[in-house]
């Protein structure tokens, strides 16, 4: 995969209304992105699948929707106010600012500027720490400010509610608390589209376990989450890999961590982290808030501070991975066809109804009646705004698995042509059999790895 491929993906996302630059008409904001009509649908599908898999289908996991703005004490306890920072250095020649850990090291005191290739001597250009937390003034008056913090991970909302959830649900261990929501980080390394944003969304589970079972559950979650991307999201197996963190790489709270990496257009990078956070968070919140967050196990009659296994996924990175994985350019009759081979369940529309002539009222009426029948059962689109070749191209680009064309002959025989996005095969079938045809075909779709 190349940078050229990245540029093509970004262009498609913009052109077709998946992703736009944030505040674009005012010149934009770095690392802030908006999701357009189709992007909003695809993003919601990803979140719905995750929520359904873990919150609706499992008895050991409950959902939560905690606030974004949190008390300063939360981040004193979590370590984010002190430790959540990047070491940054300025290039003396081009004046650009970089994260030191992302620069090529030449020797002990010299790094290479990623932009102009100047040698940066860090004894002369001392790197400085920048905290990634975003804070907001919550006071009514400017002269007496008091600050709340925008959470940098949804996890902290889960930890501070652990006691509330136990009291309300009377659940036993192992117990997962799952949450989808926005998180904010004043990231310095920008670029790479929606890979690293200042405002992004996470899907996190904090899975509270008896410490003696932590290793077992950690391994189970790594496998479960890898399988999720393949089976539920449809990402090809060969574009995913696991990378276990070395001791020196581990975050201050983690006992172990494995990244699930995806082969993004710019190379292999983290899609999700699965960590064993030990009892760090519950202990620290107990210490700082003075509220006991331990758990009394009725069966073993012991009081424990549970360990936490945390599968932490990014919604935006999953979105990016899904689009990159599904993006194909194929040569058809000497022309390039761009197609998103999305898993059908994720596609913004499952089927498009396309009348061949829009100035023939009976034909339009018949096509619209088909559209009305289907739209309550499957996400369906009606489009008569162009020639059929152009309409097919548009649907290929947004990943619509089936296109149904209604032509003059359809008025007589009540048959339509149904075209498969991936094979481009066309079948003539009874209009009344469209849903049955799609359901039967589903098994023929590209599954992950194939």
Q: Which residues bind ligand GAP (CB under 6 A)?
A: 153, 155, 185, 187, 196-197, 200, 202, 204, 270-273, 310, 312-314, 316-317
Nearer residue to ligand GAP within complex by CB, 109 or 223 = 223
Nearer residue to ligand GAP within complex by CB, 132 or 357 = 132
Nearer residue to ligand GAP within complex by CB, 244 or 427 = 244
What is the smallest separation between the CB atom of 178 and ligand GAP, expressed in angstroms? 13
Is residue 406 within 8 A of residue 396, CB to CB? The reply is: no
What is the smallest separation between the CB atom of 272 and ligand GAP, expressed in angstroms? 5
What is the smallest separation between the CB atom of 189 and ligand GAP, expressed in angstroms? 9
User: In Å, what is the CA distance from 231 to each residue of 82, 234, 420?
Assistant: 40, 6, 21
CA distance 202 to 152: 10
Helix (H, G, I), strand (E, B) or coil at 245: coil
Burial of residue 207 (CB within 10 Å: 0-12, 13-18, 19+) is buried
Sheet-wide strand order for 85-90: 97-99, 85-90, 128-131
What is the smallest separation between the CB atom of 245 and ligand GAP, expressed in angstroms? 10
CA distance 258 to 242: 7
Nearer residue to ligand GAP within complex by CB, 197 or 404 = 197
**DSSP secondary structure, 92-152, as one string:** TTT--EEEGGGSEEEETTEEE-TTT--EEETTTS--EEEE--EEEE--SSTTS--EEEE-S
* Closest CA relative to residue 240, chosen from 224, 254, 259, 253: 259
Nearer residue to ligand GAP within complex by CB, 314 or 344 = 314
Nearer residue to ligand GAP within complex by CB, 187 or 420 = 187
Nearer residue to ligand GAP within complex by CB, 262 or 392 = 262
Strand partners, 406: 355
What is the smallest separation between the CB atom of 166 and ligand GAP, expressed in angstroms? 20
Residue 125 tokens read as 């250009």
What is the smallest separation between the CB atom of 124 and ligand GAP, expressed in angstroms? 30
Which residue of the chain is nearest ligand GAP when measured via CB? Answer: 314
Strand partners, 128: 88
What is the smallest separation between the CB atom of 204 and ligand GAP, expressed in angstroms? 6
CA distance 117 to 240: 32
């Amino acid at each position: 995969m190349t940078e050229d491929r990245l540029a093509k993906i970004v262009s498609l996302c913009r052109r077709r209304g998946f992703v736009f630059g944030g505040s674009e008409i005012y010149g934009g904001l770095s690392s802030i992105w908006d999701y357009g009509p189709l992007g909003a649908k695809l993003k919601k599908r990803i979140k719905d699948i995750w929520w359904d898999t873990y919150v609706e289908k499992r008895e050991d996991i409950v959902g939560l929707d905690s606030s974004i703005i949190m008390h300063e004490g939360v981040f004193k306890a979590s370590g984010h106010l002190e430790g959540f920072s990047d070491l940054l250095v300025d290039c003396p020649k081009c004046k650009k600012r970089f994260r030191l850990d992302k620069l090529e090291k030449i020797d002990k005191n010299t790094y290479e500027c990623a932009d102009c290739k100047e040698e940066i001597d860090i004894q002369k250009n001392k790197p400085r720490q920048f905290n990634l937390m975003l804070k907001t003034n919550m006071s009514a008056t400017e002269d007496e400010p008091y600050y709340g913090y925008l959470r940098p991970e949804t996890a902290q909302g889960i930890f501070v509610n652990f006691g509330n959830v136990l009291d309300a649900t009377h659940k036993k261990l192992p117990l997962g608390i799952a949450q989808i929501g926005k998180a904010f980080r004043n990231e310095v390394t920008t670029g790479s589209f929606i890979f690293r944003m200042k405002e992004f969304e996470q899907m996190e589970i904090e899975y509270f376990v008896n410490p003696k079972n932590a290793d077992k559950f950690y391994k189970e979650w790594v496998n479960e989450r890898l399988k999720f991307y393949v089976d539920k999201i449809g990402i090809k197996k060969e574009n995913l890999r696991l990378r276990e963190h070395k001791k020196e790489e581990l975050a201050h709270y983690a006992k172990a961590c494995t990244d699930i990496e995806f082969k993004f257009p710019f190379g292999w990078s983290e899609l999700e982290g699965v960590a064993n956070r030990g009892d760090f968070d519950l202990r620290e919140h107990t210490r700082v808030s003075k509220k006991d967050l331990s758990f009394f196990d009725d069966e073993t009659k012991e009081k424990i501070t549970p360990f936490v296994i945390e599968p932490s996924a990014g919604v935006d990175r999953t979105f990016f991975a899904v689009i990159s994985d599904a993006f194909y350019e194929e040569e058809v009759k000497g022309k390039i066809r761009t197609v998103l081979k999305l898993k059908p369940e994720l596609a913004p529309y499952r089927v498009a109804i396309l009348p061949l002539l829009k100035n023939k009222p009976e034909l339009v009426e018949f096509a619209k009646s088909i559209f009305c029948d289907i739209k309550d059962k499957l996400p369906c689109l009606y489009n008569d705004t162009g020639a059929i070749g152009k309409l097919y191209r548009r649907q290929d680009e947004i990943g619509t698995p089936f296109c149904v064309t209604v032509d003059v002959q359809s008025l007589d025989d009540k048959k339509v042509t149904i075209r498969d996005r991936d094979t481009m095969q066309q079948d003539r079938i009874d209009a009344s059999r469209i849903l049955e045809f799609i359901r039967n075909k589903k098994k023929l779709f590209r599954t992950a790895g194939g």
